[in-house]
Structure 1
Amino acid sequence: MAEPHRTAGSGIPHPNGQSPDASDKPDSMAVPLPEPIRTLVRQAEKDLGDKLPWYEDLPQDSKQILKELIEIAIASFLTWKGRQDSLPPDTGCDSEQGMVSLPAPLEFSQVISPRQAMDVTRVIVDLLENNITVFAREGEPEDETRDTILRYAWEVAFSAATIYADLAEARNSMGTRTETLIIESLIDGSTGRQVTTGLTMLGWPADYRCFAIVGRTPRGGKTSAGIIHQRIRLTLEQAGARVLMSQHNKLVVILADMEEAGTPADLCAGLLRYFDKESPVCLGPLRHGIHGAVETIQAALNTYTVAPAAEGLSVDGGLPRPLHADDLLPERALMGDEKASDQLYQEVYKSLSNGDRNNPLLVTLSTFLVSGNSLETTARRLGVHPNTVRYRLKRSIEVTGWDAMNPREAFVLQTALKIGQIRDAQEQMQEPRA
């Protein structure tokens, strides 16, 4: 009796002594499988909905790709097993011949998640283990076939894990480059399409509330900067915030979309342990959208720059942690931060003047600040009772939130008034003469 024909590399006899013709395969990825095995695979494909809870939610084209990939995996097993069977006895599994590459990795990773890939691997292994007699070569003991199947399952699982690890690393690398590009653009004040497109690619919505954190991570410690960055990111994400992060001039620059994560101060407080204890950690103001992202990042960076000039912000003479950008408005204005100057002008000077440069609140506060913070001197210069001065100063606190009796806050107010006086003078110079 003639020896039955064996499919190349598989060691499995094919019925009728003929190799299956690719032309009789209904699928686009035609795979030459022996008829008994093809029947088993077709039945397994029909049962995918029962074995994989997520299968029915896949689009039809993804279902088709998944089925084709299962067929390719079975054909790959036949080829792999054929190579193992061809090795001399007692040589074991040859590492060069035994390595398995998961078929069509790109399509596979686009269709299902890593966890789902493991589910599919389990379906493939079950198909092999439950039909040992079909996959065994003639006269091969079942235990030997089962061992071969287990080795193959291990190879496939390892291959799938490697593919997803490589994809994750590539995506992480791409994400890191995109984040760096976005952060550097925002630092420069750029809000063009490239930036907005990058944010969309990273899953940011069109509108968001964001704030920035700027600081220096510990130097010379046992933990690498990369690990610290990952811990910062994980802490914020676990709190419910979206995160962009990049390194800029040896500083870590973080932009966080709050969503429903809490207040910026609360979120920043949970990160302080990751920053250098000898350097300031600066918190930008809460802002909206892409232009707000530029403002809060620049504010936090400028706050870090002027931090050495900050005095009187805490009882012990040190710097608060975190250091709020709004607490250093005068220092930022002095270094040329236009947003800080605008904020002081609008929130202090314009609020006090209320459209009138001779508003009593504005005049009283200005006189008080240039009179050595003396109620009596201020009252004499204005020709009013000291109680009137007290009342107007109290009202100015209600309007601006800053107390002229506090030396630090008096400096903030005086800076704001000087900015207002300069801008008023510039406006007067530009006004047409009658």
Structure 2
Amino acid sequence: MGRGRELKHVASAPRTKEQTLNWLRTISGELCTTTLKRLEDTLPWYGDMPPGRRSAVGLVAQAGITSFISWFDDPKSTPWIAADVFGAAPRELLRSVSLQQTLQLIRVTVEVVEERVKDGSESLREAILLYSREIAFGAADVYARAAEARGLWDARLEALVVDSILSGEYDDDLPSRIAALGWHGHGEVCVLVGTTPSMLDVDQLRRSARHMAADVLIGVQGNRLVLVIGRARPASPDPVTDAAAPATGSLGAVGTGSTNGHAAGTEQTLSFMDIAMQLEPIFGPGHLVLGHEVPNLVDASKSAKAALAGFAVARSWRNAPRPVQADDLLPERALAGDPLARATLIHRIYRPLQAHSTELLTTLWCYLDNGRSLEATARELFVHPNTVRYRLKRVSEVIGYDATGAREALILQAALILGSISEHDGSTRRR
């Protein structure tokens, strides 16, 4: 008690700077103890911490008070002291204590010191304010550098994940890497490939995707920008709509339009093509190709291969839309040697027609060989033109393509040629 009255008496009396420094050194332990007690009483998160972390926070508070005394002794000779306060804390403390909690810690510590020295000189109180400002900036700098380092690490990890998806090199570590990036997508996935803009705003791109209930992984490969797009919430299927309408692509091919998903008839969930159209302004000039939809992120390499193959040949379609589905570039991809495109054309068009009716296949072939002329086809087949119309309608119902359209006629003709070649190759191998 006598000691406390003596300190209070000394604090209230005018003193020189040297006396003030000696007094501060004398009460530094008391300030640390009071600060820790105040933290426990006023900050619930501090009391919930494990003992080891509470001890680390106490070291930071103690370092702050000790550094203030050194800084007050000569502010100009030790400008590094404020930022160095946080060097007393272990690295894992930065991950467990948020910036907001750190600022609360600073505020409580400053309040304790101010209350204890309220009877001190004006210069001492001013020094406390200046030093608390330096400490706050020091804390912000520490967290900013940590965020920057984390951002660089995330960018490298994201590039690694996108490269793995593009190459199809799946390993057991891929799901954990994706989870570490904070991927919120689940369910269906599509890959979108285009050119890299001169100025890419990654944050704006992510915000745009989130606004459309989607999540993206971003890969920049030179002048090529690759987006892996996933739904951030599950699509709500409409059984009535699903039963009534088959999935169709932009050219009407059954099976190609998985990009339409369930969202075509709903307001909550956009189709992948709609998402691609919304993201289109972010890309640089040139073609923009959307791969087919796959059920999950693990299978995204299939969509990526289709999108990359389509992107490589998109310039061959003079009036290709932007964006364009990779499956709408099947003829160009097949001519360029893409085995997936060849197999898709055969199994999606040639095989179903062959299995359904020989006359449909024959009529379609004659119609295309005769320059899509109904009369010439009817003469060759010795039937009425209306019969040709009916059969072409049946072709459209079976495979989803309209042979009377110029672009779809090209796709159908490529499928017939490839199907015929595959049959010849198969019969040759059997012999």
User: Structure 2 length as normaliser, TM-score?
Assistant: 0.78
Q: What CA distance in whole angstroms lies between the structure 2 residues aligned with 1:207 and 1:85? A: 56
Equivalence for 2:253: none
- The equivalent position to 2:128 in structure 1, one of 108, 127, 149, is 149
Q: What CA distance in whole angstroms lies between the structure 1 residues aligned with 2:84 and 2:77? A: 12
Q: What's the CA shift for 1:343? A: 2.2
Q: What's the CA shift for 1:427? A: 2.8
* Aligned length, in residue pairs: 380
Q: What CA distance in whole angstroms lies between the structure 2 residues aligned with 1:36 and 1:160? A: 21
Shift in alpha-carbon separation, 1:192–1:85, aligned structure 2, 3 A? closer
Equivalence for 1:38: 33
Q: What's the CA shift for 1:347? A: 2.0
1:299 maps to 2:311: no
Equivalence for 1:117: 102
Equivalence for 1:378: 377
Residue 115 of structure 1 aligns to a residue whose secondary structure is: helix
Structure 2 spans left out of the alignment, 5+ residues:
8-17, 234-268
Structure 1 spans left out of the alignment, 5+ residues:
16-32, 312-317
Q: Which moved more, 1:374-383 or 1:320-329?
A: 374-383
Listed as ranges, the matches of 1:225-236 within 5 Å are 225=200, 228-236=201-209
Listed as ranges, the matches of 1:37-116 within 5 Å are 37-49=32-44, 60-61=49-50, 64-87=51-74, 94-97=78-81, 99-102=83-86, 103-104=88-89, 106-116=91-101
Q: What CA distance in whole angstroms lies between the structure 1 residues aligned with 2:360 and 2:405? A: 17
Q: What's the CA shift for 1:291? A: 4.8
User: Does structure 1 retain, via aligned residues, the 8 Å contact 2:166–2:305?
Assistant: yes
Equivalence for 1:181: 160
Q: What CA distance in whole angstroms lies between the structure 1 residues aligned with 2:31 and 2:203? A: 51
Shift in alpha-carbon separation, 1:105–1:126, aligned structure 2, 3 A? farther
1:349 maps to a residue whose letter is Y
Q: What CA distance in whole angstroms lies between the structure 2 residues aligned with 1:214 and 1:255? A: 9
User: Does structure 1 retain, via aligned residues, the 8 Å contact 2:186–2:231?
Assistant: no
Shift in alpha-carbon separation, 1:333–1:114, aligned structure 2, 3 A? farther
- The equivalent position to 1:12 in structure 2, one of 20, 24, 28, is 24
Residue 24 of structure 2 aligns to a residue whose secondary structure is: coil
Residue 85 of structure 2 aligns to a residue whose secondary structure is: coil
Shift in alpha-carbon separation, 1:229–1:205, aligned structure 2, 3 A? closer
Equivalence for 2:281: 273
Q: What CA distance in whole angstroms lies between the structure 2 residues aligned with 1:96 and 1:276? A: 45
Shift in alpha-carbon separation, 1:151–1:38, aligned structure 2, 3 A? same
Residue 288 of structure 1 aligns to a residue whose secondary structure is: coil
1:286 maps to a residue whose letter is E
Listed as ranges, the matches of 1:153-232 within 5 Å are 153-204=132-183, 208-219=187-198, 224-225=199-200, 228-232=201-205
Q: What CA distance in whole angstroms lies between the structure 2 residues aligned with 1:205 and 1:271? A: 18
User: Structure 1 length as normaliser, TM-score?
Assistant: 0.78
Q: What's the CA shift for 1:391? A: 0.7
1:259 maps to 2:232: yes
Residue 218 of structure 2 aligns to a residue whose secondary structure is: strand
1:179 maps to a residue whose letter is E
Q: Which has the higher contact order (CA 8 A, sep 6+)?
A: 2
CA RMSD of aligned residues (A): 3.1
Shift in alpha-carbon separation, 1:320–1:13, aligned structure 2, 3 A? closer
Q: What's the CA shift for 1:196? A: 3.5
Listed as ranges, the matches of 1:340-379 within 5 Å are 340-354=341-355, 359-379=358-378
Structure having the higher helix fraction is: 2
Q: What CA distance in whole angstroms lies between the structure 2 residues aligned with 1:178 and 1:236? A: 20
Percent of paired sites with the same residue = 31
Q: Where has structure 1 moved over 4 Å in runs of 4 or more?
A: 91-94, 96-99
Q: What CA distance in whole angstroms lies between the structure 2 residues aligned with 1:344 and 1:298? A: 16
Residues 151-201 of structure 1: CA deviation (Å, up to 9, x unaligned): 232222222211221121111111111122222222222222343442232
Q: What CA distance in whole angstroms lies between the structure 1 residues aligned with 2:149 and 2:415? A: 50
Q: What's the CA shift for 1:429? A: 3.1
Shift in alpha-carbon separation, 1:125–1:347, aligned structure 2, 3 A? farther
User: Does structure 2 retain, via aligned residues, the 8 Å contact 1:232–1:274?
Assistant: yes
